[in-house]
């Protein structure tokens, strides 16, 4: 069986958030000495459904810490992975040797290994090695391994790391990189030293706000008038997928933007067709709002906080307001396929017959995935040509469809076909790159349909809204920044300490904790102001100054996705990622609704 990180099927929601470009952080933490036991190594992404991947202070080959991967779920196959990013500019046209020490215990069903991937234009893989067939299995002592690959001149991104596709346990330590035989010398990171001048600058320039309660008087949010200005897009991030304060504050900001600044559309990191059901409800349609919220499938949105937002939208529209609820994600194609078939049954029955086979084949694969959860390999041999032909055929017939059907109906059906092709591209290509580009394209489609006067609020993870990208991937925020420039304003969300809702292998969805911020992190500076809640406009930061220059340089900040993380700090340049930061001292878990999500079929 072929195992490919290029087609890795980890749901993006499970991923911790953005790992920034290594060029801004030359210390790659190759020895895994930066971080805390039980947490992720700093500047690395770690994850894998059914795996525990964390630092440990036992059995290190050198130094105090090493990285441990352990299969925790005895169910269907997945793989544990640690991912770093290497600066591509200095090594184009050269050869890379990546080496490290691996120890294994009871590894079966696959192997433990090092991996290296060089991507080119369009996120296509130019070179890839993951030690398939030569990595250690069973129980082995510390042993050194290496991979050597060329870096083509057209390379655009390099990722590397460690992986465990099988069962058992593996330890990794003492990684090294050589360029044309010359060792890569890391430049040690210098931890940020918090000064009184830095804290005073934040305190003097930040906007404190009274509460995250959406029903509170909005006088303390008037600073949003200047912060947002005439921007057409306001993107609201989140540093976890399960912090109640983030969700309530995003509701509160959405209310302000709709009531005071004329924003007409809201779109969330959820499946587009399913969100249309909620949109019908907020415009007076029938249905149980809790069931409709659960119908977005992901537990992340199946919360009291999101339900409260939906209920407010319905009340706002009933009172004469105008705001729509939409989605821009494409991870569940079932309803999209049904929508395409329903349209063609009325508009083009002959062409409907041609869609039957490719859509049925895709549905069969998805159902098989739901039964086995083997997202790593089930789409390996799938040919999406038939699915792509459905979209191409509908585009060719668009003019004919418009002769007796409204443009909104026709273009909506074509967009549903596009969502299906996006899903297939994600499953058969670069998961993260395809998904972020698709989400950006879908946001632009929503804006095109809404008209030039529309203004939209986006709700997604910090990593997706960031304009800095992550792991060599152009994020949705980066792509929208290229297309819209200053017409987009991005707000990231951070917190100092607390708990949050997340998912953990073997334990499921629940409330989990994480380490408080510490000296050297961005949140620590905010914490030192004594303000429990604040918004800081990062555009005011001046590079090179002792008071605010740190905001324009790489700094540690917390980033958690849907997976629980005890230690969750990575590196990034806040002013490059966001226009402003919304900070909370305390995080508490989002409240899950007691509603069972339906099947997409």
Q: For residue range 303-345, what is the model confidence (pLDDT) as tens digits?
A: 999 999 999 999 999 999 999 999 999 999 999 999 999 999 9
Per-residue model confidence as pLDDT tens digits over 266-311: 999 999 999 999 999 999 999 999 999 999 999 999 999 999 999 9
Q: Classify strands 66-71 and 167-179 as parallel, antiparallel or unpaired.
A: antiparallel
Q: 572 near 20, Cβ under 8 Å?
A: yes
What six digits make up the tokens of 546? 């002792």
Per-residue model confidence as pLDDT tens digits over 470-486: 766 789 999 999 999 99
Angle at 49 (CA atoms; ends 45, 51), nearest 5 degrees: 80
pLDDT at 11 over 60: no
Q: 164 near 47, Cβ under 8 Å?
A: no
**What percentage of the chain's residues is helix, strand, coil (to nearest 5)?**
35, 25, 40
Measured from the Cβ of residue 115, the count of other Cβ atoms closer than 10 Å reads 23
Q: Which pLDDT does position 226 carry in this prediction?
A: 98
More confident residue, 59 or 38: 59
pLDDT band of 469, cuts 50, 70, 90: confident
Cβ-Cβ contacts under 8 Å for 101 (sequence gap 6 or more): 61, 62, 142, 143, 144, 145, 172, 173, 174
Greatest mean pLDDT range, 31-40, 118-127, 480-489: 480-489
Q: Which pLDDT does position 75 carry in this prediction?
A: 55
More confident residue, 470 or 260: 260
Beta-carbon-side half-sphere exposure of residue 392 (alpha carbons within 13 Å): 7
- Sign, CA dihedral 398-404-407-410, equals negative
Q: Give residue for tokens 């080496």.
A: 99
The structural domains of the chain, ordered by start, are: 5-183 (2.60.120.260), 203-329+455-587 (3.40.1660.10), 334-428 (no CATH)
The burial of 515, by beta-carbon neighbours within 10 Å (0-12 exposed, 13-18 middle, 19 or more buried), is given as middle
- The gap from C-alpha 86 to its chain's centroid, in whole angstroms, comes to 20
Asked whether the whole model's pTM tops 0.85, one would answer yes
CA–CA separation, 529 vs 539, rounded Å?
Answer: 19
Q: Which pLDDT does position 372 carry in this prediction?
A: 65
Residue 584, helix vs strand vs coil: strand
Per-residue model confidence as pLDDT tens digits over 43-52: 888 888 788 8
Which of these ranges, 411-420, 490-499, 515-524, 564-573, has the smallest mean pLDDT?
564-573
pLDDT band of 489, cuts 50, 70, 90: very high
Q: Which pLDDT does position 319 carry in this prediction?
A: 98
Q: Which pLDDT does position 162 carry in this prediction?
A: 98
Q: Which pLDDT does position 472 carry in this prediction?
A: 66
Average pLDDT rounded to a whole number, residues 218-236: 99
The percent of residues above 70 in pLDDT, for the chain, comes to 93
Q: Write down the mean pLDDT value for the chain.
A: 92
Name the β-bridge partners of 488: 233
Q: Which pLDDT does position 375 carry in this prediction?
A: 55
Q: Which pLDDT does position 157 carry in this prediction?
A: 85
Closest CA to 439 of 424, 460, 453: 460
pLDDT band of 123, cuts 50, 70, 90: low
pLDDT at 560 over 70: yes
pLDDT band of 15, cuts 50, 70, 90: very low
Q: Which pLDDT does position 509 carry in this prediction?
A: 95
Q: Which pLDDT does position 2 carry in this prediction?
A: 34
Per-residue model confidence as pLDDT tens digits over 513-537: 999 999 999 999 999 999 999 999 9
pLDDT band of 14, cuts 50, 70, 90: very low
Q: Which pLDDT does position 190 carry in this prediction?
A: 79
pLDDT at 460 over 60: yes
Cα separations in angstroms, 564 against 309, 397, 504, 507, 589? 25, 47, 6, 10, 12
Per-residue model confidence as pLDDT tens digits over 145-167: 999 999 999 998 899 999 999 89
pLDDT at 84 over 60: yes
What six digits make up the tokens of 95? 């050869």
More confident residue, 76 or 99: 99
């Amino acid at each position: 069986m072929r195992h490919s990180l290029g087609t890795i099927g980890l749901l993006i929601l499970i991923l911790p958030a953005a790992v920034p470009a290594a060029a801004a952080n030359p210390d790659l933490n190759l020895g895994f000495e930066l971080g805390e036991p039980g947490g992720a190594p700093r500047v690395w992404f770690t994850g894998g459904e059914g795996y525990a991947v964390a630092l440990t202070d036992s059995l290190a080959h050198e130094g105090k810490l090493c990285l441990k991967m352990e299969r925790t779920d005895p169910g269907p196959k997945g793989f544990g992975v640690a991912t770093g990013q290497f600066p591509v500019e200095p090594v184009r046209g050269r050869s890379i040797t990546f080496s490290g020490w691996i120890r294994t215990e009871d590894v079966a069903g696959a192997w433990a290994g090092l991996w290296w991937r060089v991507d080119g234009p369009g996120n296509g893989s130019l070179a890839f090695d993951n030690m398939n067939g030569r990595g250690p299995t069973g129980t082995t002592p510390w042993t050194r391994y290496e991979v050597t690959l060329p870096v083509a001149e057209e390379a655009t991104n390099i990722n590397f790391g460690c992986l465990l596709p099988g069962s058992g346990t593996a330890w990794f330590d003492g990684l090294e990189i050589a360029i044309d035989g010359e060792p890569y010398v890391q430049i040690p990171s210098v931890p940020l030293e918090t000064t009184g001048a830095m804290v005073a600058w934040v305190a003097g320039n930040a906007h404190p706000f009274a509460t995250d309660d959406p029903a509170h008087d909005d006088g303390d949010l008037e600073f949003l008038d200047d912060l947002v200005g005439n921007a057409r897009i306001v993107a609201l991030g989140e540093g976890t997928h399960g912090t109640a304060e983030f969700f309530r504050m995003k509701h509160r900001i959405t209310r302000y933007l709709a009531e005071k600044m004329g924003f007409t559309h809201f779109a969330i990191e959820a499946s587009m067709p399913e969100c249309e059901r909620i949109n019908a409800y907020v415009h007076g349609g029938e249905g149980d709002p809790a069931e409709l919220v659960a119908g977005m499938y992901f537990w992340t949105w199946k919360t009291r906080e999101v339900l409260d937002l939906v209920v407010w939208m319905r009340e706002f529209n009933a009172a004469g307001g105008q705001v729509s609820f939409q989605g821009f994600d494409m991870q569940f194609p079932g309803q999209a396929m049904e929508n395409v078939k329903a349209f063609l049954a009325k508009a083009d029955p002959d062409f409907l017959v041609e869609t039957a086979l490719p859509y049925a084949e895709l549905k069969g694969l998805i159902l098989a995935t739901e039964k086995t959860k083997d997202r790593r390999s089930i789409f390996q041999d799938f040919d999406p040509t038939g699915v792509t032909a459905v979209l191409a055929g509908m585009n060719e017939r668009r003019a004919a469809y418009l002769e007796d059907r409204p443009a909104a109906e026709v273009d909506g059906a074509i967009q549903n076909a596009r969502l299906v092709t996006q899903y297939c591209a994600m499953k058969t290509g670069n998961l993260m790159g395809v998904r972020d580009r698709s989400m950006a394209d879908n946001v632009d489609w929503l804006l095109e349909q809404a008209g030039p006067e529309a203004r939209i609020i986006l709700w997604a993870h910090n990593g997706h809204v960031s304009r800095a990208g992550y792991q060599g991937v152009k994020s949705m925020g980066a792509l929208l920044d290229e297309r819209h420039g200053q017409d987009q304003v991005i707000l990231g969300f951070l917190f100092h300490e607390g708990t949050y809702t997340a998912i953990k292998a073997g334990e499921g969805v629940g409330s989990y904790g994480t380490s408080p911020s510490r000296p050297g992190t961005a949140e620590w500076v905010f914490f030192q102001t004594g303000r429990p809640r604040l918004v800081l406009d990062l555009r005011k930061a001046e590079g090179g100054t002792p008071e605010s220059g740190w905001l324009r340089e790489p700094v540690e900040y917390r980033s958690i996705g849907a997976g629980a993380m005890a230690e969750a700090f990575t590196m990034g340049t806040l002013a490059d990622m966001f226009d402003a930061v919304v900070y909370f001292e305390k995080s508490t878990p989002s409240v899950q609704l007691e509603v069972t999500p339906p099947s997409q079929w």
